[in-house]
Structure 1
Amino acid sequence: MVFAPKMKGGSFHRARGKQFSFTLLTVICMTVLLWSYERRPHFATLLSPQDQFVLPSSDIFQVTSHISSDDFKQEYPVQEPLLVHAEPEDKPRPLIVNVADVESEPKESFVSSGTDEPSATQGSSFYVIMAFVFIMAVCNYAKGRWVIDNTRPLYSGFKCKQWLSEMWACRLTQRPDFGYEAYRWQPENCEMPEFERSAFLKRMQDRTIAFVGDSLGRQQFQSLMCMLTGGEASPEVQDVGREYGLTTPHGASRPNGWAFRFPATNTTVLYYWSSCLCDLVPLNGSDPKSEVAMHLDQPPSFLRQFLHRFDVLVLNTGHHWNRGKVRANRWIMYVDGKPNKNRRLAPVGNAKNFTIFSIARWVDSQLPSYPRLKVFFRTISPRHFFNGEWNTGGTCENTTPLARGSEVKQEGSSDQVIASAVRGTGVNLLDITALSQLRDEGHISRYSTKASSGIQDCLHWCLPGIPDTWNEILAAQV
């Protein structure tokens, strides 16, 4: 049975009706705005953008002195927002953010902000209208609500064994409830198109979609593979991992990534493991236990090598930035090619934020060379450990969907670090934090294909599940 839903006729006509009404309203508003401007030209100054980054009103954000390197000479936010969960054993010290310098360069105003009235020859009417249309047309996919949808899930959790790790296929575990599968995300002010796999593959013809990040990025990758195949076995899909050097390292339990190609449309979907989104270089390549240089200001070598082959790139990082994992992996922080001596970067949370800004700025610097490339930085996936941490009895045993509410009303992102890192760049924000925060019942919890070990997984998600929604939003933004 294929679970890929198709839009009903009534839903289609309602959607078309909404689009027509929206278009009509836009035309009317544009006309009124233009008429108002021509009568009172100074009215346009009301639409001048205010390019200011305002941090949350919390004392965890203060002020810091300048952090510089040869490649990234600007201020960086250096603290976690409240919903970006730092590991409790390693809480960074609060530092100051120079708010004025968060963006690499100030943006120009749409119209003159001086005392002289703009002339008709400057085309100010056009820019005012375009600014207005932009405001009207942009959809905030992160704001909306979860609604029941009896066409869900998008694929079978029993059948997608070719792509889906057994540990994340909750239908194969002892879990008895699957109500979390029956919801879809509805943005507040726009229609999010139904995901239809053949249409998406056609749109992505001759293109490559790359996920680079940690295990939550791997979940999003596996989710998309299941969505694109309807959760069915697809022997025609080709394994092309070797084209990207994706092999199983010596002594490793799994490859450093996967790449698959749909031959009918020549669409490639790949994942590369990079939990910290910075370059990791063993200090002694012949010693498997060597310490590893963790270059905070350099992108992974995989990205430098293969970026030119990507058309869509989705980045993520967050949950591996804690002192325990840094020590266990023998990572030594480097900046500007040397061991880090900056005490402000010593706290792991601060190093993470510095790296997030570094990778965002590096990718942005590459975009002029690759005009077809569209890059997304996915915000952090929330953890839901209650009454303890993963190793101290923390649980997530709620099975009632939306017990904490169904709606996200806030305008800004809950992940202020990533949101501010991509501001002023060509990198797009894939904002999934707040909408995922409402879905604590969708985690793996205590269920597995084997007897429960007593430690609950309140970080990863059941599939089918919440990461499918991340991909629907990605598809809509692409």
Structure 2
Amino acid sequence: MKGGSQYKLRIKRFLSLTALVCLTFAVWAWEKTALLSTFLPSSDQYEMSSSMSSPVFSLSTPQMHSVYTNQKPSIEDVPFDASIEEVPSQPATEDKFSNNIKSPPLRGSEESLFEEKKESDNLKMVTSNNKECNYAKGKWVADRRRPLYSGLGCKQWLSEMWSCRSNNRTDFSYERYRWQPKDCEMPEFEGSKFLKQVQHKTIAFVGDSLGRQQFQSLMCMVTGGQEHPEVEDISIQYGLDIQPGSDRPSGWAFRFPTTNTTILYYWSASLCAIEPINITDPNTNFAMHLDRPAQFLQQYLHRFNVLVLNTGHHWNRGKVNANRWVMYINGKPNTDRKTAMIWIAKDVAVHSVAKWIDSQMPKHSELKVFFRTISPRHFLNGDWNTGGSCDNTKPLVGGSEVTQNVSADPVVEDAVKGTRVKILDITALSQLRDEAHVSKYSIRATPGSYDCLHWCLPGIPDTWNEILAAQV
């Protein structure tokens, strides 16, 4: 009997053990299936990710051709995409600005992106293999901390025609992206910190209306778009007054007394020295000296610590004729038909000013000079005066990434090569942002009129200044 009881006990233990093993295996199999479901996307997810795969911007992009060919005269002063990788951030605060901008609600996939990358909150300047960072190479990423200032604020510095929030635009997803270089990280821009870094310095922007946009952008960025009545207008110290026959000054200069920092802008569309041929004739033509820098540069270069140059969209036959510019070389009217070609004349002028600046820099040890590449236009189906438009409002439909190592503006890239002048390369990364132009939302707009040259502010020029600040 005893042996039989022990046998039955063994049978019960065996059956219990078998049941336990089966139960364990069943639980494991259920968990594995659930786990796999988190990695394997549904058919809907797969279709979305496939459709949103972004092409890489390259020099062969057909749209880029219009940036360098002869162009018509440009207009002068006239939903949050979850498929794009998002930069992690601290939780957004409500009513961040006076106009009650609120960050869009996060969906599940977006929330996980923030949780996975919180280490990027404290961004540091990092380069790989100790090489200088190529800030033009990277990708646009969504960032709910943007914009850096209010689109309805910054009235002290921002022209109303570029404040798209003031001009009936209703979609603002273009404000919610930041540029992330491939091989390094840009530190978060802080206005007060930047002003301390450039204490007792003068930052000068010299160029066309896109340079003016960059200037106004920086003024808004360093002030956070807030009113600063203590900032002094010292334009007169740089001769930036209203000239006879003009309805506005040739530039502006503002000084921040707390840090003794000056930020100024001077309008010079070609960067060439321009002077009347006959000062007694009110209808005189103007000598456009391709081989001489603007007089403003010659006169005030010694007062600058950071200089940002740009030119581009005035180099077309219509603008040259409208301004009554006559090309000069070596102090005489140009007689070389080849040099008279617009794109060659521009090349001569850009190389000349870069070479001249480089020759002056040994005399000014603290001077840093940047030549910004051309800002792209996005007119479709015509130009600014022939029905061209830019209606897209969805960010990054043409891709989010720039992978090329060369600049999309070969003229500037070649001009600064071998000089002390650095390139501020913004062309390719800006080319991806066709939705961020003023478009039809302009105070000067007429039905069917589009501005696909200038940018809404806050917007793309803020990124140009972030790259500038990182390099400064």
Shift of 1:251: 2.1
Q: Counterpart of 1:84?
A: 67
Q: 1:343 aligns with which of 333, 337, 343?
A: 337
- Map 1:410-449 to 2 at 5 A: 410-449=404-443
Q: What is the distance in 2 between the residues matched to 1:239 and 1:417? A: 35
- Provide the C-alpha distance between the structure 1 equivalents of 2:211 and 2:263, rounded to a whole number of angstroms: 13
Shift of 1:137: 2.9
Q: Match for 1:449: what amino acid?
A: I
TM-score (norm 2): 0.74
Answer whether contact 1:83 1:415 (CA < 8 A) is retained.
Answer: no
Taking only the aligned residue pairs, the percentage that are identical comes to 65
The code of the aligned residue for 1:314 comes to V
1:266 aligns with 2:266: no
C-alpha distance in 1 between matches for 2:142 and 2:174: 10
Task: Identify which of 218, 227, 231 aligns with 1:233.
Answer: 227
Q: Distance in 2 between matches of 1:451 and 1:306?
A: 37
Match of 2:315 in 1: 321
> Which residue number in structure 1 is paired with residue 101 of structure 2?
none
Q: Number of paired residues?
A: 359
* CA drift at 1:84: 3.3
Rounded Cα–Cα distance in structure 2 between residues aligned with 1:286 and 1:432: 42
1:308 aligns with 2:302: yes
TM-aligned CA deviation for residue 287 of structure 1: 2.8
Q: Which runs of structure 1 show a deviation greater than 4 angstroms over 4 or more consecutive aligned residues?
A: none
Question: 1: CA distance between counterparts of 2:67 and 2:365?
Answer: 32
Find the aligned partners of 2:128 and 2:273 in 1 and give their Cα distance.
37
Q: Summarize deviations over 1:171-222 as a string: whole Å, max 9, x none.
A: 1011111110000000011011110111100010000000000000000000
Map Cα deviations across residues 267-317 of structure 1 (whole Å, 9 max, x no partner). 000000000000000012233321000000000111000000000000000
Corresponding position of 2:159: 165
2:159 matched to 1:180?
no
2:285 to 286, 291, 316: 291
Match for 2:215 among 218, 221, 236?
Answer: 221
Cα distance change, pair 379–244 in 1 and its aligned pair in 2 (3 A)? same
CA deviations over 1:135-171 (Å, ceiling 9, x no partner): 6331010000000111100000111111001100001
Give the distance between the partners of 1:235 and 1:89, measured in 2 at CA. Answer: 40
1:192 aligned residue (186, 189, 208): 186
1:247-266 correspondence to structure 2 within 5 Å: 247-266=241-260
**Are 2:457 and 1:463 equivalent residues in the alignment?**
yes
1:157 maps to a residue whose letter is: G
Q: 1:272 to 1:88 in 2, by over 3 A?
A: closer
- Please tell me whether the aligned partners of residues 210 and 313 of structure 1 are also in contact (alpha carbons under 8 angstroms): yes
Inter-CA distance 180–89: structure 2 relative to 1 (3 Å threshold): closer
CA distance in 1, matches of 2:462, 2:256: 19
Q: Which structure has the bigger radius of gyration?
A: 2
Indicate whether 1:400 and 2:394 are aligned: yes
CA distance in structure 1 between the aligned counterparts of 2:347 and 2:264, rounded to whole angstroms: 26
Give me the whole-angstrom Cα distance separating, in 2, the residues matched to 1:332 and 1:162. 37
Q: Distance in 1 between matches of 2:145 and 2:281?
A: 53
Structure-2 separation of matches of 1:458 and 1:57: 20
**1:359 alignment counterpart:** 353
- Tell me: CA distance 1:459–1:451, structure 2 relative to 1, closer, same or farther (3 Å): closer
Per-residue CA deviation, residues 72-125 of structure 1 (Å, 9 max, x unaligned), is xxxxxxxxx8463323469xxxxxxxxxxxxxxxxxxxxxxxxxxxxxxxxxxx
Indicate if the aligned counterparts of 2:368 and 2:421 stay in contact, CA closer than 8 A: yes
Shift of 1:449: 3.1
1:417 is displaced (CA, Å) by: 0.7
Letter in 1 for 2:194: F
Q: Deviations over 1:210-269 (max 9, x none)?
A: 000000000000000000111011100000000000001112111000000000000000
Calculate the TM-score normalised by the size of structure 1: 0.73
Q: Which amino acid aligns with 1:87?
A: N
Amino acid at match of 1:246: L
Contact 1:213 1:316 in 2 (8 A): yes
| 1:366-423 Cα deviation digits (max 9, x unpaired) | 0100010000000000000001111111000000000111111111100011001000
Give the gaps of 5 or more residues in structure 1.
Answer: 1-55, 59-80, 91-132
- Quick one: distance in 2 between partners of 1:313 and 1:450? 31
CA distance in structure 1 between the partners assigned to 2:131 and 2:342 by the alignment: 39
Answer yes or no: is the 8 Å Cα contact 1:174–1:449 preserved in 2. Answer: no
Question: AA paired with 1:186?
Answer: Q
Q: How far, CA to CA, are the matches of 1:222 and 1:57 in structure 2? A: 30
Aligned to 2:403: 409
Compute the displacement of 1:346 (Å): 1.0
